[in-house]
Amino acid sequence: MSNTGSTSAAAGGSSSSAASSSDTASASASASGSASASGSESAGSGGMDFAAALPEKIKSAGVIKIGTDATYQPNEYLDADGKTVIGMDVELFDAIAAKFGVKTEWIPTGFDSIILGVSSGKYDVGVSSFTVNADRMKEVTMVSYFKAGTQWVTQKGNPKGVDPQNACGMKVAVQKGTVQVDDLDARSKACTDAGKEAITPLVDPDQAKVTAMVQSGKADAMLVDLPPAIAAVDLTGGAVELLGEQYDSAPYGYVLPKDQTAFAEGIVEALKALEADGTYKQILTKWKTEGGAITDFAVNPSVG
């Protein structure tokens, strides 16, 4: 299935299944709502002039170009048409864009290319379940909007006997470019430092393929954020299951160019307005991700 970008008005979204990621972008309408519905009004935002916070490039185009890895259900993934990007992240950022009075163009690409794409100007914003961390904030500005941790996932019944506290010698799948790659590297080093067999990482840029490795038995387990872990159980009909509890919970952040702090502050105010009028909770509840709701939206938040 090929991936194409989708231009949407504010607050779009429906449910379906995911596909793979590529870097092709063409506009296709996702139609549910209108960017002009909220315009640049500042209801619940203390008089914020959202339009004034927009970078000139976005203001002139009337569209925010967004890089996203559309393989991460339920947060961002492709609808049944194979072109329209939907999900919790999509619907929430569409609602934010409406506050600024502009539309969104969602451009599927590889997760590990998004930050570079934002820094180079290829994308205006990166929205792809990015965990906020110090290394990323050295390169870009981030705005926190959600929170999730890492979850172990195995085949149903954990037939390989995976122990999260001792996964030495196991084959563990992770998505390329994610914090789970670093997590796995650290765990594997601890194994070899203790004279045990290293963990074998199975890395793929497509989260759907990572899940498939566990379902098929090619991987003994996978590490992934909690929302897509829960979705994986549903998508596989229960062929995989969660192992233990999520850990290292941290905020997700929108990715902006390093120098766009004014735009970032505007996004914070838009999030506050959406939280105040109930839209934020409504969107998260629709996508069954309300457990990750936060209220302390911030630009470059402090993280451990």
Q: Tell me, rounded to whole angstroms, the distance of Cα 225 from its chain centroid.
A: 9
Pair 10, 95 in one domain: yes
- Listed in sequence order, the DSSP H helices in the chain are 35-38, 56-61, 88-99, 114-120, 134-139, 179-193, 207-216, 226-235, 261-276, 279-286
Give domain status of residue 298, yes or no.
no
Type of residue numbered 265: E
Model pLDDT, residue 46? 54
Neighbours of 197 (CB within 10 A): 11
Name the residue range of residue 238's domain.
150-249
Model pLDDT, residue 7? 45
Model pLDDT, residue 242? 98
Q: How far apart are CA 95 and CA 32, in angstroms?
A: 11
Residue 240, CA distances (Å) to 134, 168, 190, 205, 212 in order: 32, 21, 27, 20, 10
Pair 123, 266 in one domain: yes
Neighbours of 79 (CB within 10 A): 22
Pair 84, 230 in one domain: no
Pair 162, 36 in one domain: no
Q: How far apart are CA 51 and CA 7, in angstroms?
A: 19
Give domain status of residue 41, yes or no.
yes
Structural domain count, the chain:
2
Token reading at 83: 């072109």
Q: How far apart are CA 178 and CA 88, in angstroms?
A: 19
Q: How far apart are CA 75 and CA 34, in angstroms?
A: 21
Give domain status of residue 33, yes or no.
yes
pTM of the full predicted structure? Answer: 0.80
CB 146 within 8 A of CB 210: no
Pair 163, 123 in one domain: no
CB 88 within 8 A of CB 231: no
Give domain status of residue 1, yes or no.
no
Pair 12, 138 in one domain: yes
Pair 34, 134 in one domain: yes
* CA nearest to 219, candidates 234, 238, 245, 239: 239
Model pLDDT, residue 44? 39
**How many angstroms separate the first and last alpha carbons of the chain?**
39
Give domain status of residue 303, yes or no.
no
CB 233 within 8 A of CB 259: no
* CATH code of 243's domain: 3.40.190.10
The strand pairing partners of 6, in sequence order, are 106
Give domain status of residue 239, yes or no.
yes
Model pLDDT, residue 203? 98
Pair 129, 166 in one domain: no
Pair 134, 169 in one domain: no
CB 87 within 8 A of CB 11: no
Model pLDDT, residue 59? 97
Token reading at 57: 């490039």
Q: Tell me, rounded to whole angstroms, the distance of Cα 63 from its chain centroid.
A: 20
Pair 245, 255 in one domain: no
Give domain status of residue 297, yes or no.
no
Pair 212, 168 in one domain: yes
Pair 273, 137 in one domain: yes
pLDDT tens, position by position, for the chain (304 residues)?
A: 333 344 444 333 333 333 333 333 433 333 333 343 334 444 334 568 999 999 999 999 999 999 999 999 999 999 999 999 999 999 999 999 999 999 999 999 999 999 999 999 999 999 999 999 999 999 999 999 999 999 999 999 999 999 999 999 999 999 999 999 999 999 999 999 999 999 999 999 999 999 999 999 999 999 999 999 999 999 999 999 999 999 999 999 999 999 999 999 999 999 999 999 999 999 999 999 999 999 999 999 998 6
Token reading at 109: 């690409």
